[in-house]
Structure 1
Amino acid sequence: MTAVRPVDAASILLLDRSGGRVRVLVGRRSSRHVFMPDVYVFPGGRRDATDRLVPVARPLHPLACQRLALRAGARCSDSRLRALGVAALRELHEEAGIAVGTPHAAPAGGGLPFRPDLSNLRFLARAITPAGMVRRFDTRFFTLFADEAGIDPAGTTESHELEDLRWVDIFDHGGIEMPDITVLILEELQKSIQEDESLPFGRAVPLYYTQRGRFLRDLL
């Protein structure tokens, strides 16, 4: 059996702190998905090859880039790191109808109707899907405060990929079925918010992966 190599992916925890508590946007994956159907997750997906070519309004924060580059491989480039941020915001637009950036006319043949603004993305965590799964991803999880990006929390739109979009309290998400890794990332967010509610750009980032059957957590 051929080993499945993990592919780059990005996910975004969009945070609403307007009501005196912190809420995060989640949606239910369609039952048509082969990978993790019918569970609630953060918007996200695989990095597309064209994400490297998307012009951005503002780049990633330098400290976020430094953390992203750690253990990313010798062939990691600035364009690949930028593409991870682009992928997160592209997926947020495709799955929840939210555009973060400067509006502009979409190029002929399709494309984003905005230039992504990556400057407020914090790198929160990284997780690599264990071997043996039908799909494997090397996912970088970003956070974004809705108020910093000028996002109206009421402006989300369901898609065929994410249904039943909800804002849930990060400390009280009972009754919502989430994959184990989603719960783990949410717990990382809880700890980070408790340590510093501003979520500094340069904080250490956990990496979850499996080695010789052991589930491990390192810090980047």
Structure 2
Amino acid sequence: MSTVAAPAAARLRPRASASLILIDRSGASHRILVGRRGSAHVFMPDLYVVPGGRRDPRDHALPFAQDLHPLVLDRLKQNGRRPLSEASARALALAAARELCEETGLHLSTMPDMAPDLSCLRYIARAVTPPGASRRFDNRFFAAFTDEAGIEAQHPTESAELSDLHWLSLDALEAVKMPEIVLAVLDDLKKSLESNRSLPFGSDVWVYTNRNGMFLRHRL
């Protein structure tokens, strides 16, 4: 009896990645930094996203000025049946900081030449791309307030990865076209901020997965 191999896209294993949601709370409403992916991208072309990308092997060795909050590090290590090592968990945060710099020119530090300060990062969500997609990622979403990170909100720089960088109110997400998963994460972030504007380090972490074509959402 012959068997038919599953399509290559269906066999793709999710690759570890990280995104960073920068929050500007200087005005009446919270704003986040978004940018548009190019038309040539295979994954999510022409959609607006927050800075982020794949974790690289070198991220484990990147320096940092201050470590993650203990609650954040502890939750990042939670990875189902196979907990992450402290170094692997921290590498996700370092990947988010590196991608922020590469895609927007912004640094998680008061000086461009300093190592990133991870102590301001909150861990808010994990999302796994459903089977069948052209690219699959196991993505952790971090959030940070610009004033805590030493970032001036008015000075992002466009890159080959993200164009039309601008600050978007969490009350006006419909103004641009975003992936559904990013909208889901931002909607939960908005609710968390409405509950507590300081976004405590121990706030809920939401996990978004897909099973048999059904979208699933639960707390870590």
Which bracket does the TM-score occupy, shorter chain normalised? over 0.9
Contact 1:121-1:144 within 8 A present in 2 as well: yes
TM-score of the aligned structures, taking structure 2 as reference length: 0.92
Kept after mapping to 1: 8 A contact 2:77/2:83:
no
Q: What is the alpha-carbon distance in structure 1 between the residues aligned to residue 59 and residue 110 of structure 2?
A: 16
Q: Following superposition, which runs of at least 4 residues in structure 1 exceed 3 angstroms of deviation?
A: none
Aligned partner of 1:83 among 91, 105, 111: 91
Whether the 8 Å CA contact 1:57–1:102 is kept in 2: the answer is no
Unaligned runs of 5+ in 1: 105-112
Q: 5+ residue gaps in structure 2?
A: 1-6
Structure 2 Cα separation of the partners of residues 72 and 51 of structure 1: 22
Aligned to 2:4: none
Residue 99 of structure 1: how far off its partner (Å): 1.1
Conserved 8 A contact 1:102-1:115: no
Q: In the TM superposition, what is the alpha-carbon distance from 1:70 to its structure 2 partner?
A: 1.9
1:4 aligns with 2:12: yes
Alpha-carbon contact 2:110-2:150 (below 8 Å) kept? no
Residue 214 of structure 1 and its aligned partner are, at CA, apart by 1.8
| CA distance in structure 1 between the aligned counterparts of 2:174 and 2:41, rounded to whole angstroms | 24
Structure 2 distance, partners of 1:217, 1:30, is: 29
User: How far does residue 173 in structure 1 lie from its aligned partner after superposition?
Assistant: 2.2
- Residues 8 and 46 in structure 1, CA contact (< 8 A), matched pair in contact too: yes
Q: Which residue of 2 aligns with 1:205?
A: 205
Structure-2 separation of matches of 1:114 and 1:27: 25
In structure 1, distance between residues paired with 2:82 and 2:160: 37
Distance in 1, matches of 2:40 and 2:32, equals 24
User: What value does the CA root-mean-square deviation take over the aligned residues?
Assistant: 1.4
Q: Is the 8 A contact 2:31 2:170 kept in 1?
A: yes
Percent sequence identity over aligned pairs: 49
1:135 and 2:135 correspond: yes
| Counterpart amino acid of residue 55 in structure 1 | P
* Amino acid aligned to 1:8: A
Measure, in 2, the Cα distance between the counterparts of 1:44 and 1:71: 20
**1:57 aligns to 2:91 (yes or no):** no
Secondary structure (helix, strand or coil) at the match of 1:186 reads: helix
Letter in 2 for 1:196: N
Provide the C-alpha distance between the structure 2 equivalents of 1:129 and 1:70, rounded to a whole number of angstroms: 18
The aligned counterpart of 1:19 is 27
- C-alpha change, 1:198 and 1:95, in structure 2 (3 Å) is same
User: Contact (CA 8 Å) 1:16, 1:146: kept in 2 or not?
Assistant: yes
Match for 1:97: what amino acid?
G
Q: Does 1:157 align with 2:157?
A: yes
Cα distance, 1:75 vs structure 2? 5.3
